[in-house]
Structure 1
Amino acid sequence: MSATRITYSDRFKVECVRRYLKGESARKIFRDAGLDPSLIGAKRIERCIARWKTTKSIVDEAARIDANASGEDGVDTAASGQVGCIDAKSVLDSYDIANAAFAAISTSKSGREMFDVRDLIIYQQVQQITALQEKVAELQRRIEHLTDVAAARNVATETAAATD
């Protein structure tokens, strides 16, 4: 840190992005690191996170750390109840979908590879829709099963009443 510039370590950037993609508040992450928003400014914090989460190398490293921490399983955001949050494993997996989450290399950003946040949101929504479709199918199977059970009970009741 100098009088006019704050320089963050790569390790700090990766940890911030990792936690941010898991749904934590950017301000909370900085506060936990001892950088209170009132000290460095909430707007500066938001800009830092916005810049770091569009840097492929930082997102890749955050995803790698997250994948290692979860034993390569990742965390299903729908199953964990954190619908609306993107886990780093999902971000890493999104690279495989025809590199959809990444746009062309931005020459205006010193050659850093950037991803389009809109594509990331679309990917997240596709994941949520798929999870919801699976849940609907499961509920339909349960309804079918319960309908069959109820019908069988009705037949048994009618048969018992007819024999009496």
Structure 2
Amino acid sequence: MRGGGSFSMDELQMLRDLPAVANVSKDRITYSNAFKQVCVIRYLAGESPTKIFREAGLPPELIGYKRIERSVARWKAAAIKSVSGSDHLDDSEIIAQLVERYKRALATRRNLDNMASGVPDLSVPVMSEGAVGAHASIGALDGDTAGIIIKQQARRIDELERALVALRNKLNKEVPAAPNVD
């Protein structure tokens, strides 16, 4: 395996079989919208793009590290631009908005799939035209994705708490004790 360049026939077939890949040609990959959305959310939550791709069955040695880096940067920029008021939001607020958007899209897709098959899915709320701002239930987000997001947020909170303790300790060392005046 090598990074970048043209794919062999075996590599093309392997890539076509992955849910993360919408389409692939000899020298171009089009990723599924769901993969792009989950990738951006996980990346903003602190995960490595290489790890995300590897877990999706997309080995960086085959895809190419530069291709992964450029794709994630492009998707991140588009996602941040799509979140209204993102100039003043931190990563966790952007993640929350993207997760809500992803849940609504997933619920809508399931509703459309169910209407097409004629089998109602009562676990997913029906999204009407007037429900643009409505929130889908957490059940609309698959358990693995929700678990990953929660785990990443917990890790980030832990990192921030440790950094805060370190800063407080550093501040306490730098501030000399007040002299005793008797």
What is the TM-score with the length of structure 2 in the denominator? 0.38
* Greater fraction of residues in strand: 2
| TM-score for both structures, normalised by structure 1 | 0.41
Q: Which has the larger radius of gyration?
A: 1
